[in-house]
Amino acid sequence: MLSLDKFPLGCKGVVDSLDLSDEAFRRVAAFGLIPGSHFSLMRSAPFGGPLVLEVGSTRFLLRRSLASLIQVRVAE
Amino acid sequence: MKRFALLGLPNTGKSTVFNRLTGMSQRVGNWPGLTVELTSARLLLGGKMVELVDLPGVNDLTGYSDDEAVVRDVLMSTAFDAAILLLNAAQLDRQLPLALQVLASGLPAVVVLNMADEARLLGISLDLPLLRQRLGVPVVLVSAKRMEGWPALLEALNRQAASAAVASHAQLERVPETQQAIMQARALLAGCWRLPAVLPAGITEKVDAWLMHSCWGLPLFFACMALLFNLTYQIGTPLQGWVGDGLDWFKEAALQHWLAPLPAIVQSLLLEGVWQGVSTVLTFAPILFVFFILMALVEDSGYLARAAYLTDAFMARLGLDGRGFVMQLMGFGCNVPAILGTRVMRERQQRLLTMLIVPFSLCSARLQVVVFFAGILFTPHQAPWVLLLLYLLSFVVAIFTAWLFKHRYRGNEAFLLELPPYRLPGMRHMLIRAVGEVRAFLELASSFILMGVVLVWLVSHIPAGDNKTLADMLGTVLAPVLDPIGIRHELAVALLVGFVAKEILLGGLAVIYGVPEAGLGAALLHHLDWASAMSFLIFTLVYVPCLSTVAAIRRESRSRSFTALSVGWSVLLAWLLCFAFYQGLHLLR
């Protein structure tokens, strides 16, 4: 298990847990990131910029500070 | 009259559907009892007049973002006959939970699955009759962009409007929590909506390989911005010039003759006060129109989200998001549209912080003043460098302001932004939107600007003894603040004129020194020493850009105290900078 900001670029993964406030959880869940959901890490901006994830057919960016609170594992 | 609410997540093409259904008849107005502005329009459905209200895009009915609170407040305070729920057919996995929340609230609903074309391209399988049966409400599949499925949509809406049921309030206490709604949606979609195991790679991936590239992305972003900027002013400035010429012509050819019989003071009030205000407002219209067309292009095409991706690393440190940077850059043309453009940021704190820094962008009107002063104070070799230095100054001042206020206007850490596939924006949609935005600005800002202009006219015409006016007295009264920064007393009036618009500042200076504008350079050199002229220039750069910008801030923030803070802070900062410059120079000498 590792946090999302350390996840290898270009790989697919599964969300394990989210250590977020209710409000932040709602925002993240609205993009489909909930425990058990599959995602792939598409891009990562240089200079500590945001990550781009794909969940289902939805692509979105999220900041690394937020990603560090999301525990994930590589999908088999 | 019946009332329908249009609801959906952000980026589902809500405003396109709204425009398709209502055309140019829409209007923006305050919602009774709430301090929010909503767009609504009337249309004929099922033989009944229906008011369709466009609610802000939300992810969740139980959340606490600004938009979510607005939607809840409106649904609680107003009875609706139906909700039109707009969902992206390609993203039902994450969009259906909102629909289930709305259905649970008891509002009669029509579910509209938009972007049928994109769902088809992605190879998504959808069993529409099964979904309809499971949801228990009408469900139609459309592509608003191509007007696909439109007859079915209109038929469903007509039937809804013809129903005899009375309007009801949403029962928000019955809405399931986020996680519960997600589980329900998952169960409901099983067997009737499915993504293919591997999504086909489309044009978006190919374009993003360039536009979001870790090396080429930023240079391409700046190239795009330069193009956008140039287009706005290459097209907008001549239009602005024509409108200005037309208004001047009208003033000289007609207005002056009509007003000639009136006493001189009344003529002056009407021409230099009221008419000046009217022209100030109207000359903004063309540039706003062009700006909104181009901004719609950037936003609807999906590029704005890419720009946010590229600049977010830097902007996050200033407490802003990447979209703020785009507005800051647009502000270098004109601050007014940049302020109105902050609307793309849905979070209030982020918008306020961005609105606070946009006025420091050296706009084209101030550039005129800077170029003029640089020309008389420096050699032709030095002048371009001074200009560059002043551009840098405006950036530094903006960054400093953001840094200083970022804790006061702290945005939500949970910043997520959808990267939609690239889409070709509809021309009609962009036009309707631009016309609507310009009309809304003119309606709401004109009275404010007019009042300001008339007020300044009064100050510079009300006699205050000794053949002097209140404005002349201003310099004397303000001596304790003007002297330490080296600005001569007579220039207080020029700063007051510059508060209205920087375009008329040079003309104001010419009046003060009693010379034609062509002789202004020589007159300034004669009356002002170098340090005091530079101080005046720095002050002009940093303090309030113009009354129209203040009006825009007032309208967008809906807060007098925030507007006062913005004005007060820029004046204070201008004074501090001039003080440091002028006194520092004295110490060095």
CATH number of the domain encompassing residue A14: 2.30.30.90
The pLDDT, as a whole number, for residue A9 is 94
The pLDDT, as a whole number, for residue B412 is 67
A66 touches chain B (CB under 8 A): yes
With CA atoms as reference, the chain A residue closest to B306 would be A61
| Nearest-10 crossing angle of helices B92-104, B178-189 | 110
The pLDDT, as a whole number, for residue B444 is 66
Q: Is B158 exposed, middle or buried (0-12, 13-18, 19+ CB in 10 A)?
A: middle
What pLDDT band is residue B264 in, cutting at 50, 70 and 90? Answer: confident
More confident residue, B274 or B130: B130
Q: Could A27 and B212 be called an inter-chain contact, meaning their C-beta atoms sit closer than 8 Å?
A: no
Q: Could B414 and A24 be called an inter-chain contact, meaning their C-beta atoms sit closer than 8 Å?
A: yes
Tokens for B59? Answer: 């992810």
Report helix, strand and coil shares of chain B as percent, to nearest 5: 65, 10, 25
Of B182, B214, B316, which is closest to A34 when you measure between CB atoms?
B182
- Distance from the Cα of A7 to chain B's closest Cα (Å) equals 18
The pLDDT, as a whole number, for residue B581 is 95
Q: Is the pLDDT of residue B270 over 80?
A: yes
Q: Could A63 and B316 be called an inter-chain contact, meaning their C-beta atoms sit closer than 8 Å?
A: yes
The pLDDT, as a whole number, for residue B433 is 81
Mean pLDDT of B103-127: 95
Q: Which of B178, B315, B320, B349 to mutate to test the interface with A (most CBs of A within 10 A)?
A: B178
Report helix, strand and coil shares of chain A as percent, to nearest 5: 20, 40, 40
Ramachandran category for residue A55: left, alpha or beta (phi over 0 → left; psi -120 to 50 → alpha): beta
For chain B, the domains span: 2-200, 211-362+380-442, 448-588
Which position has the token pair 């907008």? B236
Of B91, B182, B312, which is closest to A58 when you measure between CB atoms?
B91
Query: Where would I find the beta strands (DSSP E) of B157-215?
Result: 193-194
Flag the least confident range among B102-116, B259-273, B386-400, B445-459: B445-459
Q: Could A26 and B313 be called an inter-chain contact, meaning their C-beta atoms sit closer than 8 Å?
A: no
- Return d(Cα A42, Cα A53) in angstroms, integer: 6
- The CATH superfamily holding the domain B2-200 is P-loop containing nucleotide triphosphate hydrolases (3.40.50.300)
- Return d(Cα A30, Cα B327) in angstroms, integer: 27
Query: Where would I find the beta strands (DSSP E) of chain A?
Result: 2-3, 12-18, 38-44, 51-55, 58-62, 70-74
Q: What percent of chain B has pLDDT over 70?
A: 99
CB neighbourhood size of B52 (10 A): 24
Residue-wise burial string across A32-68, b where 16 or more C-beta atoms lie within 10 A, e elsewhere: bbbeebebbbbbbbeeebbbbbbbbbbbbbbbbebbe
In tens, the pLDDT along B138-147 reads 999 999 988 9
Tokens for B208? Answer: 């993003």
- Return d(Cα B408, Cα B314) in angstroms, integer: 19
What pLDDT band is residue A71 in, cutting at 50, 70 and 90? Answer: very high
Q: Is the pLDDT of residue B413 over 70?
A: no
Looking at the structure of chain A, the number of domains it has is 1
Which structural domain, as residue segments, surrounds residue A30? Answer: 2-74
**B500-504, long-range: CB < 8 A, 24+ apart:** B500/B276, B500/B280, B500/B452, B500/B453, B500/B456, B500/B546, B500/B547, B501/B280, B501/B365, B501/B546, B501/B547, B501/B548, B502/B363, B502/B365, B502/B366, B502/B368, B502/B369, B502/B540, B502/B545, B502/B546, B503/B365, B503/B368, B504/B276
